[in-house]
């Protein structure tokens, strides 16, 4: 019984080495996928625009939630509405300022 187990183990080892001996030399001949050509300027411009748009959507949701909360509280309704309008204007100006900064930076680098 031991003899049969040793023979099977020996055949298994020989089989593994045989497969490796055949597979290793043929591995370098496998073609490598070509790298996709990407226009960096358009990629980065789109990425910055997407990020700014997502930021704008996030800020819009936040201000919408703030306005909903302000409507719920009747006591501070007048104060909240005035503050919210000022905040929205500041946020819009801030986003436009950032957008212009990134546009100029992209134009300068490319």
pTM, two decimal places: 0.30
Residue 49 confidence (pLDDT) above 80: yes
Report the pLDDT value the prediction gives residue 13, as an integer from 0 to 100. 92
Residue 27 confidence (pLDDT) above 70: no
Give which of 37, 54, 41 is closest to 105, Cα–Cα: 41
Rounded Cα distance between 94 and 27, Å, is 55
Report the pLDDT value the prediction gives residue 15, as an integer from 0 to 100. 92
**Chain centroid, CA 17 distance in Å:** 43
pLDDT digits (tens, 9 = 90+) for 2-14: 777 778 888 899 9
Give which of 55, 63, 58 is closest to 99, Cα–Cα: 55
> What value does the mean pLDDT take over residues 9-38?
76
């Amino acid at each position: 019984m031991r003899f049969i187990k040793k023979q099977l183990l020996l055949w298994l080892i020989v089989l593994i080495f045989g497969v490796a001996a055949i597979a290793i030399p043929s591995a370098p001949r496998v073609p490598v996928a070509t790298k996709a050509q990407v226009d960096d300027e358009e990629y980065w411009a789109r990425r910055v625009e997407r990020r700014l748009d997502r930021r704008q959507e996030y800020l819009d949701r936040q201000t919408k939630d703030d306005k909903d909360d302000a409507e719920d509280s009747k006591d501070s309704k007048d104060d909240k509405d005035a503050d919210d309008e000022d905040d929205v204007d500041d946020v819009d100006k801030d986003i436009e300022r950032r957008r212009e900064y990134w546009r100029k930076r992209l134009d300068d680098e490319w």
